[in-house]
């Protein structure tokens, strides 16, 4: 299950705080086409707890959460069709 | 006209005597903190027409319309009834059932608190007892409704089962578990049931729905928060069946009805009769209804505060 997943776009949300974290990630997601993958670079703690769940509640598919072991995580999310 | 006033009857019907002569605050029957737009409009109209144009929100999710005059009693009741609004109760009986928003709108909630509040209200509301008896329902461990303040407090909880096929091994459940019950090793999740408090935070935070959840209840008995303050006690562990919950509630109310003194509260009645005796009744109902016995450790691990 550890095969490499290639991201089409990357957004860095380490420079903003909740609730702007998800807003910035969501705006980035809007630019993608269905089936493309977004890499979200974020801080541990609140963003890490809330952003993956918010994407799920938004109907997107979370593929992976990678611990960069430097206090940041990369979340890979695949854009789904609008429901 | 000098009205012959039976204050006890009025109090039973939700009419709270004000210090001003012939004036009452009318308590409204609210279930689970829920009022619809028609009810609100009706209450607003009555407050405007018969009162002083305002209402008071009570500490337990009810609402009172002050400055109702005793001579308008029948007209007020009739006006309220047209908008689906009924008076509540006060005094020694089962009172307002309170509830948080629950799973209808809240992402944290493990149970549908409003439906449960309606059911509890339908079964027990206004039942005559030696003292007052209060039910409170909250959807999850965040305990927005502070259920331990109630004579019978119900808290939503859930048992979880890991689904390996759905899991992306992200580790968010491990990070979110407050009981250190989850470990992730070589892409596999292990849940230590001796630590799990059934809070459901693992499932809630899972970004791919890799947990099946079975909702249930945690009950606290004997809470009160007035002249005397006592926190409700946990006596039985995680309850998986609605039937068990209702049987425990039935038996609790019956115990209070059978043993309480006039003006008593549940916990003081239990203290007098013996906590052991009450615990045994709850234990036996739980074991019979849930189909398994339990240990003190099973109760200990679901204590709030984790």
**A14 Cβ contact partners less than 8 Å away, ≥ 6 residues apart:** A41, A42, A43, A72
Question: Does residue B64 sit in the same domain as residue B120?
Answer: no
d(CA B224, CA B152): 10
Token digits for A64? 């992976």
Question: Does residue B53 sit in the same domain as residue B130?
Answer: no
Given a contact cutoff of 8 angstroms between Cβ atoms, the answer to whether B170 and A65 are in contact is yes
**B177 vs A contacts (CB less than 8 Å):** none
Cβ separation of B171 and A49 shorter than 8 Å? no
d(CA B207, CA A47): 13
How do residues B58-110 score in pLDDT, each as one tens digit?
999 999 999 999 999 999 999 999 999 999 999 999 999 999 999 999 989 99
Question: Does residue B152 sit in the same domain as residue B277?
Answer: yes
In the block, tokens 């019979």 appear at B288
Q: Note the pLDDT of residue B240.
A: 98
Of the candidates A1, A52, A67, which has its C-beta nearest B207's C-beta?
A52
CA dihedral in degrees (A50, B200, B181, B285; nearest 10)? 170
**CATH classification at residue B279:** 3.30.413.10
**B98 Cβ contact partners less than 8 Å away, ≥ 6 residues apart:** B32, B33, B60, B61, B117, B134, B135, B136, B137, B145, B150
Percent above pLDDT 70 for chain B: 98
Number of folded domains that form chain B: 2
Confidence of residue B10 (pLDDT cuts 50, 70, 90): confident
Of the candidates B169, B171, B207, which has its C-beta nearest A53's C-beta?
B207
Beta strand ranges found along B10-151 (DSSP E)? 15-17, 23-28, 56-57, 63-69, 98-99, 135-138
CA-wise closest residue to B127 among B100, B96, B155:
B96
- For residues B27-31, give the mean pLDDT: 97
**CATH classification at residue B78:** 3.30.70.3340
Q: Note the pLDDT of residue B3.
A: 56
Question: Does residue B64 sit in the same domain as residue B29?
Answer: yes
Question: Does residue B71 sit in the same domain as residue B107?
Answer: no
Of the candidates B169, B171, B205, which has its C-beta nearest A53's C-beta?
B205
Q: Is the pLDDT of residue B304 over 60?
A: no
Q: Which of B82, B111, B126 is the last residue of a domain?
A: B82
pTM above 0.95, yes or no: no
- For residues B217-229, give the mean pLDDT: 96
Percent above pLDDT 90 for chain B: 91
Q: Note the pLDDT of residue A83.
A: 62
Q: Is the pLDDT of residue B261 over 80?
A: yes
Q: Give a yes or no: residue B89 inside a domain.
A: no
Q: Is the pLDDT of residue B301 over 80?
A: yes
Question: Does residue B136 sit in the same domain as residue B280?
Answer: yes
Please, which residues bridge with residue A65 across strands? Answer: A75
Q: Note the pLDDT of residue A3.
A: 64
Q: How many CB atoms lie within 10 A of CB B299?
A: 18
- For residues B242-254, give the mean pLDDT: 98
Given a contact cutoff of 8 angstroms between Cβ atoms, the answer to whether B25 and B56 are in contact is yes
In the block, tokens 């578990």 appear at B177
Cβ separation of A55 and B207 shorter than 8 Å? yes
Q: Which of B25, B51, B82 is the last residue of a domain?
A: B82
Cβ separation of A49 and B175 shorter than 8 Å? yes
Cβ separation of B107 and A57 shorter than 8 Å? yes
Cβ separation of A56 and B170 shorter than 8 Å? no
Of the candidates A1, A62, A67, which has its C-beta nearest B207's C-beta?
A62
CA distances from B69 to B22, B26, B39, B51, B88 (A): 6, 10, 21, 8, 17
Expressed as residue numbers, the domain containing B21 is: 7-82
Question: Does residue B117 sit in the same domain as residue B219?
Answer: yes
Q: Note the pLDDT of residue B13.
A: 85
Question: Does residue B58 sit in the same domain as residue B177?
Answer: no
Question: Does residue B272 sit in the same domain as residue B183?
Answer: yes
How do residues A52-74 score in pLDDT, each as one tens digit?
999 998 999 999 999 999 999 99
Q: Tell me, what DSSP letter sits at residue B191?
A: E
Q: Give a yes or no: residue B264 inside a domain.
A: yes
Q: How far from each other are the two terminal CA atoms of chain A, in whole angstroms? A: 28
Q: What are the strands of the beta sheet with B63-69, ordered from one edge?
A: B15-17, B23-28, B63-69, B56-57
Mean pLDDT of chain A: 91
Q: How many CB atoms lie within 10 A of CB B217?
A: 24
Question: Does residue B232 sit in the same domain as residue B123?
Answer: yes
CA dihedral in degrees (B115, B116, B119, B124; nearest 10)? -140
Question: Does residue B71 sit in the same domain as residue B109?
Answer: no
d(CA B278, CA A49): 42
Domains of chain A (ranges; CATH) run 9-78 (3.30.110.40)
Q: How far is B205 from chain A (nearest CA, A)?
A: 6
Q: Give a yes or no: residue B88 inside a domain.
A: no
Q: Note the pLDDT of residue A2.
A: 54
- For residues A6-20, give the mean pLDDT: 93
How many residue pairs bridge chain A and chain B with CB atoms within 8 Å of each other? 37
């Amino acid at each position: 299950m550890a095969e490499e997943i290639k991201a089409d776009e990357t957004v860095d949300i380490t420079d903003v705080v909740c609730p702007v974290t998800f807003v910035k990630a969501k705006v980035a997601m809007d630019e993608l086409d269905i089936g493309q993958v977004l890499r979200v670079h974020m801080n541990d703690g609140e963003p890490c707890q809330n952003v993956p769940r918010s994407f799920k509640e938004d109907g997107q598919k979370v593929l992976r959460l990678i611990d960069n072991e430097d206090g940041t995580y990369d979340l890979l999310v695949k854009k789904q069709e609008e429901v | 006209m000098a009205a012959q006033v039976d204050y006890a009857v009025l109090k039973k019907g939700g009419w709270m005597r004000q210090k001003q002569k012939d004036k009452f605050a009318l308590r409204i029957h609210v279930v689970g903190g829920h009022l619809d737009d028609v009810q609100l409009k009706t209450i607003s109209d009555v407050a405007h027409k018969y009162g002083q144009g305002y209402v008071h929100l009570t500490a337990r999710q009810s609402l009172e319309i002050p400055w109702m005059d005793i001579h308008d009693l029948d007209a007020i009741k009739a006006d309220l009834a047209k908008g689906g609004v009924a008076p509540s109760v006060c005094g020694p009986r089962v009172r307002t059932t309170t509830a948080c928003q629950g799973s209808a709108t809240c992402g944290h909630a493990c149970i549908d608190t409003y439906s449960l509040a309606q059911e509890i209200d339908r079964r027990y509301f206004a039942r005559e007892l030696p003292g007052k008896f209060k039910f409170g329902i909250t959807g999850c461990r965040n305990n927005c409704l502070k259920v331990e303040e109630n004579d019978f407090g119900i808290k939503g909880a859930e048992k979880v089962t890991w689904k390996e096929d759905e899991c992306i091994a992200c580790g968010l459940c491990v990070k979110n578990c407050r009981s250190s019950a989850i470990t992730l090793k070589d892409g596999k999740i292990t849940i230590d049931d001796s630590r799990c408090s059934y809070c459901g935070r693992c499932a809630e935070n899972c970004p791919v729905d890799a947990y099946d959840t079975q909702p249930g209840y945690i009950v606290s008995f004997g809470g009160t928060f007035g002249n005397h303050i006592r926190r409700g006690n946990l006596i039985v562990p995680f309850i998986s069946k609605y039937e068990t919950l209702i049987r425990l509630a039935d038996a609790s109310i019956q115990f209070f009805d059978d043993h309480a003194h006039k003006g008593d509260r549940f916990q003081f009645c239990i203290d007098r009769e013996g906590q052991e005796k009450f615990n045994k009744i709850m234990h036996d109902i739980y074991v019979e209804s849930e189909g398994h016995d339990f240990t003190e450790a099973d109760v200990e691990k679901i204590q709030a505060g984790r």
